[in-house]
Amino acid sequence: MIQELIAEYKKKKKDLKNRLKDFKKIWNEPESVIFSELCFCICTPQAKAVECDKAVKRLIKSGNLFKGNIEQIRSEIAGVRFPNNKSKYLYEARKQFSVNGRIVIKERIDIKNIVESRNWLANNVKGIGFKEASHFLRNIGFGSDLAILDVHILKNMIRYGIIRTRPKTLNQVKYLELENKLRTFSQEVKIPMDELDLLFWSAETGEIFK
């Protein structure tokens, strides 16, 4: 089974690396683009990534991501699970990262200490935990050694014997424990963590998304 994984990696390696290069370019984009990636990740818990991406694009197009009230935001993320809570989280995030009417988010991210940046995000931004914070950092070009432990990744961790069962809860201590197990597996099969994440994700969804 491991050999099949390695063979699949070799087939997709170029595409995986190209996708990660795309993520690295995001950091050079305006603050608003970085913030929209955070909003995408706020939308993702128990929701389909493609639908979350569509919802954030709708919010950007209408201007409600940056100007809308909670109800206006909620109406545009209706296709995402838990829109009532998530609309509040998006609204609060905008307030949290606004300075004199402008989005200011880059200065809150210490690119020299991504682990600490993840801790800060998970503990200070409503609606996200370690998974979403890791996802956000990866999507803006950082966090290559962080795990994004969503249902697709956990399923593959079971498939390849990294863990036996899916954890009932995933607090920060448990998250770090499973992340270390995935990191060890990554080193054993010689597939970088960020590429392994996209490889597992594409195996479940059929696409290399974000």
State phi, psi for 103 to the nearest 5 degrees.
-75, 125
Indicate which residue of 12, 13, 22, 150 is catalytic.
Answer: 150
- Is residue 61 flagged as an active site residue? no
Indicate which residue of 11, 17, 131, 174 is catalytic.
Answer: 131
d(CA 22, CA 16): 10
First vs last C-alpha separation in the chain = 25
Farthest CA pair distance, the chain: 55
- Is residue 150 flagged as an active site residue? yes
d(CA 74, CA 78): 6
Strand partners, 103: 98
d(CA 60, CA 56): 6
Q: Which residues are known catalytic residues?
A: 131, 150
